[in-house]
Amino acid sequence: MKESFLKALTLFLLSFLLLWPHASAHAGFLGAGKPAPGAPPGTWVVGDTPATTAGSPILFVHGLNSSALTWFEPNDMFVHTYEQGFPSAYINLHPDKSNWQNGELLAEKIRDIYHHFGEKVTIVAHSKGGVDTQTALLHYGAEPYVKEVITLGSPHHGSELANLAYSNWAGWLAEIIGQRSEGTDSLQTGNMAYFRAQTDGLISAQSVPFSTISGTSWGSFGSALYFGGVYLQFFGTNDGAVTVNSSRLSYARELASNRWDHMQVAQGHLIFPLLQAQMGAQANEEEHAKSMSATIIRGGQFNENGSQAFAIEPNVKKAQISVLANEKLDSAELHSPDGQVYSVAAVAAEQEHSVFYGAYAHHFKLDHPSAGEWELKMKHPQTTAYLAVIALEGGVSPAIAFDGVRLQSDIDPNAIDVSKTRYTIHVNDDNITANAASLHALPPQKDTSQTITIDIEGMTRNGDRFERTIVANRYVDKHGTIYE
């Protein structure tokens, strides 16, 4: 009995040693089925094998703050993929790491997945997953294993929401909810402009073809993507998380740009027919984003009771105010200059792909708000961090523009008294003293990313107070070249 046990043990160990190189080459493969919650980065599963194969296998890549489960819950992408006869694989990447870290990991796993299927894969990537995928292909050698790439609402040129997370006013909130991550940082617009400069020159006629799909809707008032849509509206048409311009690549075919929000643009029943058909026109011309400054941004911390004042000038047609906090507030009210009190109209948790995932957005919407000083009053029993974004339509907004590269504001002196305009500037949370004359002369720090928060306070030509905030990001390389 003892002898037979020893023989069996010996055979087992020999078999394990013989198979070990093969097993390590496929480390991370979890087999077939639904990905397990919390599976570590680098693990991947394959979908059920369709009875009849209709095309090449598809690898689905998730975005920021997400996982492979995004294609299963509450999504039906995996159902449509199976029913239409496509073999599939689903991978977990780091939810909060940069495109460089995820790209390197993804490239390794793409090779494994290629060997598993025995043929090149089509990659369908949502949101930041599209940037991670391009990094894997062009910087980490995964191109030979990929047939084509289709990106869904991917911020190929970065996200102004990522800039906002790194603005001076968002510091308290972003730190508490954990969204000043390497992943968010990599999506700042200057950092992504630098990535484009490193990447787009590598594209050739032999490169794996890219196609894009984008969304143009951010839902109804108070929806999960409403805050993102309100903030991004001044940068162009968007899906509540990514602008249409950012989702496009000049060398990629745009399969569709439709009234989907950032979550719908990855939903199987809406998108899979486009993936399957591979039909569509060439990429549209880029929109001209609005250059006006139309937001006031404030933020901080309070214990039990908090207040924040801000000024609205005359002739503002509409004010959309979103207060993000790390918890759902007990109460939040707006007090107008003439004594009226406005309560929160809607509250929504930020969805998982948001750079403010983990925060609650409290929304107000005002038509023709009174001119003068307003006050936001908040109550909550615990110490709370908040970020308030006031988006204004009308007023002096068309009179203020901003050149991010030169750090120069362009103010119309016919509408604004330039002599009474003051600037408070933070570069990466450090306060910089500047005025209109010296603003553009701030020296760029080489080989670094700079997030710039500029608060403008001044008077209109009619003697009314106004306030605005500008947030921008730029990357300065070691030669001093600026990318934004």
Q: In what order do the strands lie in the sheet with 58-61?
A: 29-32, 44-46, 88-91, 58-61, 121-126, 146-152, 210-215, 253-258
pLDDT band at 241 (very low <50, low <70, confident <90, very high): very high
| pLDDT for position 403 | 63
**Where along the chain do its domains lie?**
29-277, 294-483
Higher per-residue confidence, 54 vs 87: 87
Asked if residue 386 lies in contact with residue 422, where contact means CB atoms within 8 angstroms, the answer is no
Mean per-residue pLDDT for 299-310? Answer: 96
Residue with token string 């000024």? 311
Tell me, what's the pLDDT at 435? 54
Instruction: Count CB-CB contacts under 10 A for residue 125.
Output: 26
Instruction: Determine which helix (DSSP H) or strand (DSSP E) holds 134, and give its type and residue range.
Output: helix 128-139
Q: How many CB atoms lie within 10 A of CB 129?
A: 29
Cα distance between residue 232 and residue 254, in whole Å = 21
CA distance 97 to 99: 7
Of 112, 120, 144, residue with least CA distance to 23: 112
Q: Is it the case that residue 325 has pLDDT exceeding 50?
A: yes
Across residues 27-40, what is the average pLDDT? Answer: 81
Residue 26: what pLDDT? 41
Residue 305's CB is within 10 A of a number of other CB atoms, namely: 10
**pLDDT tens digits, 57-80:** 999 999 999 999 999 988 999 999
DSSP count for the chain of H helices, then E strands: 11, 22
How many C-beta atoms lie closer than 10 Å to residue 346's C-beta? Answer: 15
**pLDDT tens string 186-216:** 999 999 999 999 999 999 999 999 999 999 9
Q: Side chain identity at 64, as an amino acid letter?
A: L
Helices (H), 122-260: 128-139, 160-165, 171-176, 182-186, 189-199, 226-232, 244-247
pTM, full prediction: 0.86
Measure CA 346 to chain center: 23
Q: How far is the C-alpha of 251 from the C-alpha of 211, rounded, in Å?
A: 9
pLDDT of residue 198: 97
Residues in the chain, total: 484
Q: What is the pLDDT of residues 116-166, one digit of tens each?
A: 999 999 999 999 999 999 999 999 999 999 999 999 999 999 999 999 999
Looking at domain 29-277, its CATH superfamily turns out to be Alpha/Beta hydrolase fold, catalytic domain (3.40.50.1820)
Each residue's pLDDT tens digit, 401-454: 766 555 556 788 899 998 998 888 888 877 776 555 445 556 667 888 888 888
Q: How far apart are the first and last CA of the chain?
A: 74
Q: Taking 50 as the threshold, does the pLDDT of residue 469 lie above it?
A: yes
